[in-house]
Amino acid sequence: MGLQTYTVGVDFGGTNIKVGCVTPHGWVVRSLVLPTRAHATPQTFLDGIEGAMAQLCAASKIRRSQIRGVGVGVPGLVDGRRGVIYRLVNVPGGWEGVALRRLLERRLRCPCAIENDVNTVALGEWRFGAGRGTRHSVYVTLGTGVGGGLVVDGTLVRGITGAAGEIGHTGVQLNGPRCACGRRGCVEAFVGTAGIVRRARQAIRAGRVPAHAALRGRPDSGRSGSQLARLAVLHGGRLTPKLVSEAARAGDRAAMDIWQEVGYYLGAALANVVNLLSPERIVIGGGVAGAWPWFGRRLRATVRELAFAVPASACQIVRARLGDEAGIIGGAILVEEGG
Amino acid sequence: MGLQTYTVGVDFGGTNIKVGCVTPHGWVVRSLVLPTRAHATPQTFLDGIEGAMAQLCAASKIRRSQIRGVGVGVPGLVDGRRGVIYRLVNVPGGWEGVALRRLLERRLRCPCAIENDVNTVALGEWRFGAGRGTRHSVYVTLGTGVGGGLVVDGTLVRGITGAAGEIGHTGVQLNGPRCACGRRGCVEAFVGTAGIVRRARQAIRAGRVPAHAALRGRPDSGRSGSQLARLAVLHGGRLTPKLVSEAARAGDRAAMDIWQEVGYYLGAALANVVNLLSPERIVIGGGVAGAWPWFGRRLRATVRELAFAVPASACQIVRARLGDEAGIIGGAILVEEGG
């Protein structure tokens, strides 16, 4: 019997680069974190990955020959098939047109693969997380942006450009609110962080809860938006989806309504995906998915309402499972996927 | 060298059943038409196909041993993988749950396959028509209904239920006009026949062209909606997309505007498809596609405007090529696809 083999998964984020050793069954045996700032150019990135691999191998008593390959999820537009970066988001350092896969393979002397980070997590959740056991799985990440990744017939859908899966920028409302992408009515404009915060501000204004009353909290807590206003004041006016969740938990009617809207608009976008692809499972991840108790039921009901009965009833909508390790695990799968 | 082989493609429509002998290169060597009315039950359908095959073979001097298989595109919801019909649209006769593939194979003693009719045409256009040479192709049919079929990585997307591809019932406008499916704001509600006719009636009302003035035609022809009104009167008040095309050709401003709207709303739906799948080509077929000169430019411009630049610029939008034979040719491909 040969030695256990591992794949290295890399989750290249705007703030941190996570590098981990993953078993063929999707377990992260060891991982470490590098600051993106120190590794933001192709050259320093390669240095960082090489060093991290040496560290991981030494700490886990793994020989380099046991590493079957390295897969990297990158934050931006990528041609995974050719292994080339179109452009990165939130990472400076001259990445346009860089053939990162070839650079990695030359430096690390093993098979490497790169892919968009959301697609990478989509693969991870499909193979070892909440999408496990399905042939057709859709992953959606909720956060500042709303991203997606599609697995059809057990293969990641890249499309001709590698840019497939942009669920967040499918439109649900012509002439709807302006999205960060510049267009109007994308589902991200409704359920991305900016959209949620915008609605929370509207709710506070509509409730006209004065700051001092808001701070007292309890007496007014039945009033719609009062908890939202109180939390906003406590946090120096800085609202986040997390605070909107807290307000909902505290029984704030306006905050609950905001999550119902999130469920509705996301449901409208996913009903379109269900009618187009008839997936077996839709997996909801990302930071804002933590508010699932406040929007999950409405999300499911909306998909049932707006999609056709046959594909809707065959599609489960569930929360992601892999948490913070999803990017590392997905990265490790990229190598098998073969780019 | 063996004898030339053929595949039989069957286009099972609400009015006619077209049966044709197709070469491996997608040429229909001979075809015939059966009235659906006489073959609307599983038993009479099998009789009809068996008889048609015998006729085609005799007329073309083809031996039954040269027929490699039979593929049928059926008008309804189908599980192509299992070869079972969920339900047919516009065909009575107890088709629910019928395992048509097995019935065909028992009767005809050769490999058979069935698939939804739009998916079948999508395969035909992808393989031998306007989608030829691509790996990712989307087919849209415009008519009474708006249907679609997706080819991703050279494979028809069926989804877990077989019901994938329902582009016509993706929503572009929450709380938009009511669609035939019962929901609101589906793209079909805007660009299906009913939506086009509804807009034409509105235009005539808005133009307030009296019937006698409309009939005189020429003097008023500069006035928006006057040609529409004239054609409506000439056809006993029965408007069709074809008449709206004629009015546009005659220079009617209102009719031209209607086609601009068709291009816009269809473009909005297809921009979503482009952002989701990044296809290489979108093929527009069906009867209403005949109005392409009036809406094609606006359709392309809208996709470029509403989809991301990278996938939009990589996606060509073209007219279908196979015409009336598309269903037969697509049916013949089903057999190779293997259901």
Selected for mutation to probe chain B from A160, A184, A281 (highest B CB count within 10 Å) is A160
The confidence score (pLDDT) of residue A213 equals 58
Interface contact flag, A174 B170, Cβ < 8 Å: no
Interface contact flag, A278 B308, Cβ < 8 Å: no
The confidence score (pLDDT) of residue A32 equals 97
pLDDT, tens only, A5-55: 999 999 999 999 999 999 999 999 999 999 999 999 999 999 999 999 999
State the average pLDDT over residues A281-308.
97
State the nearest Cα–Cα gap between B128 and chain A, in angstroms: 19
Which positions in chain B touch A272 (Cβ < 8 Å)? 170-171, 272
The confidence score (pLDDT) of residue B310 equals 93
Interface contact flag, B275 A161, Cβ < 8 Å: no
Residue A339's pLDDT band (cuts 50, 70, 90): very low
User: At residue A250, what is the residue type?
Assistant: A
Give the Å distances, CA to CA, from B87 to B79, B167, B174.
10, 19, 28
Bridge partners (DSSP) of residue A116 are: A74
Q: Are A307 and A274 in contact (CB under 8 A)?
A: yes
B150, B160, B268: residue with CB nearest A135: B160
Interface contact flag, A150 B273, Cβ < 8 Å: no
Distance CA B293, CA B259 (A): 9
For tokens 């069709």, what's the residue? B240
Selected for mutation to probe chain A from B87, B146, B266, B310 (highest A CB count within 10 Å) is B310
What is chain A's length?
A: 339
Interface contact flag, A310 B163, Cβ < 8 Å: yes
Mark out chain A residues that contact chain B at CB-CB < 8 A: 77, 86, 134-136, 148, 150, 152-153, 155, 157-167, 169-174, 181, 183, 268, 271-273, 275-280, 306, 308, 310-311, 314-315
Which positions in chain A touch B158 (Cβ < 8 Å)? 278
Interface contact flag, B153 A157, Cβ < 8 Å: yes
- Of the candidates A277, A308, A48, A53, which has an alpha carbon nearest to the alpha carbon of residue B180? A308
The confidence score (pLDDT) of residue B339 equals 45
Interface contact flag, B173 A170, Cβ < 8 Å: no
DSSP A68-107: EEEEEEESEEEETTTTEEEEESS--SS-TT--HHHHHHHH
Bridge partners (DSSP) of residue B152 are: B155
Which positions in chain B touch A187 (Cβ < 8 Å)? none
The confidence score (pLDDT) of residue A338 equals 57
Distance CA B279, CA B134 (A): 9
Distance CA B300, CA B316 (A): 8
Interface contact flag, A170 B275, Cβ < 8 Å: yes
The confidence score (pLDDT) of residue B223 equals 65
Q: Radius of gyration of chain B from Cα atoms?
A: 21
Distance CA B170, CA B166 (A): 7
pLDDT, mean over chain A: 92
What kind and span of H or E run contains A4? none
Residues of chain B with pLDDT under 70: 1, 208-223, 338-339
B158, B169, B279: residue with CB nearest A159: B279
B136, B157, B173: residue with CB nearest A174: B173
Residue A283's pLDDT band (cuts 50, 70, 90): very high
Which positions in chain A touch B268 (Cβ < 8 Å)? 171, 174
Residue A1's pLDDT band (cuts 50, 70, 90): low
- Of the candidates A96, A70, A73, which has an alpha carbon nearest to the alpha carbon of residue A17? A73
- pLDDT for A219 beyond 70: no
Which two structure tokens, joined as six digits, stand for B1? 């060298």
- pLDDT for A215 beyond 70: no
Which positions in chain A touch B163 (Cβ < 8 Å)? 278, 308, 310-311
The confidence score (pLDDT) of residue B79 equals 92
Residue A214's pLDDT band (cuts 50, 70, 90): low
Interface contact flag, A160 B306, Cβ < 8 Å: no
Interface contact flag, B310 A277, Cβ < 8 Å: no
Phi, psi values for residue B284, rounded to 5°:
-105, 115
Which two structure tokens, joined as six digits, stand for A158? 């890249």
Distance CA A77, CA A85 (A): 6
The confidence score (pLDDT) of residue A294 equals 97
Interface contact flag, B310 A86, Cβ < 8 Å: yes
Interface contact flag, A276 B160, Cβ < 8 Å: no
Which positions in chain B touch A134 (Cβ < 8 Å)? 160
State the nearest Cα–Cα gap between B176 and chain A, in angstroms: 9
Which positions in chain A touch B277 (Cβ < 8 Å)? 150, 157, 159, 164
B164, B174, B314: residue with CB nearest A173: B174
Rounded to two decimals, the pTM is 0.93
Percent of chain A exceeding pLDDT 90 equals: 85
A167, A183, A280: residue with CB nearest B306: A183
Weakest-pLDDT range from A65-69, A77-81, B165-169: A77-81
State the average pLDDT over residues A286-301.
97
- Of the candidates A166, A150, A158, A7, which has an alpha carbon nearest to the alpha carbon of residue A82? A158
Rounded to 10 degrees, what is the CA torsion of B167, B170, B176, B181?
A: 70
Selected for mutation to probe chain A from B87, B276, B310, B315 (highest A CB count within 10 Å) is B276
The confidence score (pLDDT) of residue B236 equals 84
Which positions in chain A touch B157 (Cβ < 8 Å)? 152-153, 277
